[in-house]
Amino acid sequence: MRITCHTPLFFDASVLVAAAHSSEGGSALLLEACRAGGFRAQTTFVILFEALHALRGFPQESLRRFYRLLMEVNWELLAVPPRETLDQYRRCIDAKDVHVLAAAVEGEAEFLLTLDRRHILAAAERVRKANMPIVILRPGDFIRQYYTQHEDYPLLPPPRGQPA
């Protein structure tokens, strides 16, 4: 698999919330790499609203960081697929997250990044067995397994805890 600036990463709300809450983690690193043009950042309006809703009660700095991510990352905002399309994905994932998987696959994302262990990460094996053309993993796993394979890796923001 070739990893380039054209590689689409689909961000779930949990990753957006984590990046907004901490600028030091893997979620923030991947969004920083997207902001620098290292990857294509994809999500949906529904997911953005889910993230915003989840950030209620967080410190104001988290909300400010979230707004900066919205403004500074060149987002590809995908449509939530129609009900008929969503129905094709229901066998693989919990009903509350079917819109996430369907939008990511229909939007041709290569990776779906999430921290949702209970629903989305739990569906990764079913998605793989269904031969869907997407890899579901946590941001940290993407960084460990794929980030250094990027054809322009030296130009990307360095992983946290490593020298520049």
Distance CA 12, CA 101 (A): 9
Q: What pLDDT sits at residue 164?
A: 43
9-33 pLDDT tens trace: 999 999 999 999 999 999 999 999 9
C-alpha distances out from residue 121 to 5, 92, 118, 128, 138, Å = 25, 11, 7, 11, 8
| DSSP string over 126-164 | HHHHTT-S-EEE-HHHHHHHTGGGBTTGGGSPPPTTS--
What domains appear along the chain, each with residue ranges and CATH number? 8-155 (3.40.50.1010)
Local confidence band at 162 (pLDDT 50, 70, 90 cut-offs): low
Structure confidence at residue 163 (pLDDT): 44
Burial class for 113, CB neighbours closer than 10 Å (0-12, 13-18, 19+): buried
Q: Is residue 46 over pLDDT 70?
A: yes
Q: What is the pLDDT of residue 160?
A: 78
Residue range 148-155: mean pLDDT, rounded = 95
103-131, pLDDT tens digit by residue? 999 999 999 999 999 999 999 999 999 99
Over the chain, what is the mean pLDDT? 94
How much is the pTM? 0.95
